[in-house]
Amino acid sequence: MANDQITSSETSESKSELKRRAKDITELGMMLAERNISQLQGLPYPEIIAAIETYQRITKGNAKKRQMLYVGKLLRQVDLDVVERFVDRYDSASEHHQLLVHQLERWREQLIEDDPSVMDDISRQCPDLDRQHLRTLTREAKSVLKEEATTSKSHRAFKKLFQYLKQISDQSLITADAKLAVEDELDREN
């Protein structure tokens, strides 16, 4: 009979594990606070964005600390995988960011080389793609490339093409993260 009863300490996390988890969540909050507000708009949790905006405006030490504790409280209520993916997307040292940049560079090169399958690949991964705008940017990059590859004009055209690819990629990732956040919220309600 004694074996049938499980104490609460056996089923719950230890105090040390809880402290480590709280520290990790606070560090995640600090990473979010390092982002600018325009980057944070892609986060599917508006209450966390508002709390971080408040944190960034506060100048006093203790008030800042209290606000970060509040951000941590909000983070404990959401799906941390979505938030971690969001942070990794903008962290240039993360593997996720490196893979994304390499994919965007491949797409840019394939567009300039007239690879017929690349437009379908991009539209499959980024449904909000404006094909006409992408073709215009690609044409500009190609025409500048024909003129002279060393001018600042060519670098500007390549950069514009890359930035547009990054923008549509971010939009599709934000949409996917928002769907995950809604599903997570529905799961918690049920």
- The whole-number pLDDT of residue 189 equals 62
Element (H, E) at 170: helix 152-189
Question: Of 73, 90, 107, which closes a domain?
Answer: 90
Domain count, the chain: 2
Residues spanned by the domain of 32? 9-90
Among 72, 90, 108, the domain-final residue is 90
Share of the chain above pLDDT 70, in %: 79
33-39: long-range contacts at Cβ-Cβ below 8 A with a sequence spacing of 24 or more?
A: 33/68, 33/71, 35/87, 35/90, 39/90
One domain, residues 80 and 122:
no
Residue 87 has pLDDT above 90, yes or no: no
Mean pLDDT of 19-39: 87
79: domain CATH number?
A: 1.10.60.30
In a domain, 18, yes or no: yes
Per-residue pLDDT reduced to its tens digit, 143-177: 877 776 555 666 788 888 888 888 777 777 666 65
Q: How far is CA 172 from CA 56, 115, 129, 178, in A?
A: 27, 22, 9, 10
User: 17-23 — which CB contacts under 8 Å span 24+ positions?
Assistant: 22/72
CA gap 73, 93 in Å, rounded: 27
